[in-house]
C-alpha cells in the first residue's frame, strides 16, 4: 500500500468518524431534550393528580354537608310511602288513593332531622 492510499484512507476514516461523532452528538442532544421534557411532564402530571384528589375530597365533603344520609328507619318509611302507604301519624297504614302526595308523610320522612 502506498503512502497516498494510506493517507487517503486515514482522511476518509477521519471524515466518517467526524460524521459519526456529529450524529452521536445530535442524538445525545435529542435524548437530553426528551428526558427533560419527560421530567417536566411527570411533575406536571403529579401536580394535576394532587389537584384532582383535592377537588374530589372537597366534592365529597360538600356532598356530605349538603345532604346527610337518612337513617335506616326513615329509609324504611320512605319505602313504605313509595309502595303507596301513609306513614304519617294522621293516616298511618292506610293506602294512599292514586298515590297522591301527603304533606304529613313527606314531613315525617324528609322533615327536619334531629
Q: Give the model's pLDDT for residue 26.
A: 97
The total of structural domains in the chain comes to: 2
Residue 52's beta-bridge partner residues?
Answer: none
Q: Is the entire prediction scored with pTM above 0.75?
A: no
Asked if residue 73 and residue 59 are part of one domain, the reply reads no
Asked if residue 99 and residue 57 are part of one domain, the reply reads no
Asked if residue 57 and residue 8 are part of one domain, the reply reads yes
Q: What percent of the chain has pLDDT over 90?
A: 50
Continuous segment of H or E residues that includes residue 25: helix 3-66
**Cα 79 to Cα 77: distance, rounded to the nearest angstrom:** 5
Asked if residue 103 and residue 74 are part of one domain, the reply reads yes
Asked if residue 55 and residue 84 are part of one domain, the reply reads no
Asked if residue 40 and residue 18 are part of one domain, the reply reads yes
Is the confidence at residue 54, as pLDDT, over 70? yes
Q: Known binding site: residues? A: 86, 88, 102, 105
Domain that holds residue 42: 1-65
Is the confidence at residue 66, as pLDDT, over 70? no
Q: What is the mean pLDDT of residues 80-96?
A: 89
Q: Known binding site for Zn(2+): residues? A: 86, 88, 102, 105
Amino acid at each position: 500500500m502506498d503512502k497516498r492510499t494510506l493517507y487517503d484512507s486515514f482522511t476518509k476514516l477521519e471524515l466518517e468518524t467526524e460524521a459519526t461523532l456529529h450524529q452521536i452528538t445530535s442524538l445525545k442532544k435529542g435524548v437530553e431534550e426528551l428526558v427533560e421534557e419527560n421530567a417536566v411532564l411527570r411533575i406536571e402530571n403529579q401536580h394535576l393528580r394532587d389537584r384532582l384528589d383535592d377537588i374530589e375530597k372537597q366534592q365529597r365533603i360538600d356532598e356530605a354537608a349538603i345532604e346527610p344520609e337518612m337513617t335506616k328507619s326513615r329509609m324504611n318509611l320512605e319505602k313504605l310511602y313509595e309502595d303507596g302507604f301513609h306513614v304519617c301519624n294522621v293516616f298511618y297504614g292506610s293506602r294512599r288513593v292514586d298515590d297522591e302526595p301527603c304533606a304529613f308523610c313527606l314531613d315525617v320522612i324528609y322533615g327536619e332531622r334531629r
